Amino acid sequence: MASLYLHIPFCEKKCIYCDFYSIENSSPMEEFLSALHVEIDAYAEFGKQESFETIFFGGGTPSLLSPQQLESILSHLHHTYSIESDAEITVETNPGTVTREKLTAYRTLGVNRLSIGIQSFHEDELRFLSRIHDSAQALDCIRSAREAGFDNLSIDLIYALPDQTKERWEANLQKAVALSPNHISAYGLIVEDNTPLSRMVRSRLVSPKPPDEEAEFYEMTMSYLDAHGFEHYEVSNYAKPGFRSRHNYNYWKHENYLSFGPSAHSFRREAGESRRWFNIANLSHYCSALQEGRLPLLTEERLSLSQLRTERILLGLRSDGLDVKRLDSELPSSTTSRVQMIHDLVEAGSATFDGNVLRLTQKGYLICDEICARLM
């Protein structure tokens, strides 16, 4: 199993909390798309070695792509790589950037999953987050997607905003569930370095919620979505049965992924070697490198057995379980104290263990980082 990711680095307006690479000027779109096609060709050899079962357009705001631009990219990918006939093809979508006609065109092109960045249904919270849409547009986007034929919809929400009450967060959850999405990603607000939000915090214009209070929001989220039939299969992700994100699941299972665009990261394991490479997070330099016949790499690294084992533990416990048997088979270690640690986690109610797979409980998810550190 392998995945393809394309980073579309354009936004109408950058959100105060976002640290993903994007720019607010879309005038270089055509230059970027030309460079993107060159990069797709540069890794064509990989298309002969394995098939890809997911394609994910992230950003930025990929829904700024016209149907014609999206068709050109998808056609090129299908021509260059072996894509499974039932591949999951996702486009991150922002309300306010699409119409029903545009979404219908996306669906006709083979896009079968949308990840919709709603974040909140409260107008003041949307303004604080500097989103470009309002609640009515969020509802319209969901309705238009259903009318366009999408039966696999994910929505993003953010909790633990500085002035958010538990009652208002519960209202967001209620509205989200009432829309019958197949998948919900719910994230606690994180203050990332070098973002407008971090500068607001340093200037004491806003005060993040303390960790214990954020944990209460998290517990509420887990309990509410569990009660409404969502499987909690990763720290921040919840899905109706059969609708887990196959793309993200490949990441969490340490499968190969090939990524294109400025700031994109790729990972590949082959012939006993594992490596990861990172594209430069600068659109101008990205385009220039490809125009000059160079790959737009910022850095590349070979991963040691120890690094791979650490990542496998972290990714496994953050998702739906660490396959201990697979871990020991593929990435053996001399660790001898793990049996007691697993016993202690189970006794404390922080995990379950069936002899092969170690899974965190809701209690364990609350201290996921601490548990990972202990096992690593």
For the segment 170-184, what is each residue's pLDDT rounded down to a tens digit?
999 999 999 999 999
Report d(CA 95, CA 105) in Å as an integer: 16
pLDDT of res. 335: 58
Q: How far apart are CA 123 and CA 100, in angstroms?
A: 23
Q: What pLDDT is recorded for position 194?
A: 92
Backbone angles phi, psi at 336, to 5 degrees: -115, -10
Q: For 96-181, where are the alpha helices, taking DSSP H only?
A: 100-108, 123-128, 135-147, 166-178
pTM: 0.94
pLDDT of residue 337: 66
Q: Measuring CA to CA, how many Å separate 47 from each of 21, 44, 194, 334?
A: 27, 5, 37, 37
Q: What is the distance between the alpha carbons of residues 8 and 3, in angstroms, rounded to a whole number?
A: 16
Q: Where are the alpha helices (DSSP H) in 228-323?
A: 246-252, 283-291, 305-318
Tokens of 219: 């517990």
The residue whose two tokens read 């209690």 is 363
Interval 146-159: pLDDT, tens: 999 999 999 999 99
Domains of the chain, each with CATH number or no CATH:
2-251 (3.20.20.70), 306-375 (1.10.10.920)
C-alpha–C-alpha distance, residues 152 and 263, integer Å: 27
Q: For the chain (length 376 residues), average pLDDT per consecutive 10?
A: 96 95 95 98 90 97 98 98 97 97 98 98 97 96 97 98 97 98 97 95 95 96 98 96 95 92 94 91 98 97 89 88 83 69 88 89 88 80
Residue bearing tokens 């849409």: 133
**Residue 328's pLDDT is what?**
79
Distance CA 98, CA 135 (A): 15
What is residue 375's predicted lDDT score, i.e. its pLDDT? 78
Q: Give yes or no for a contact between 184 and 230, defined as CB atoms under 8 angstroms apart.
A: yes
Residue 330 is predicted with a pLDDT of 76
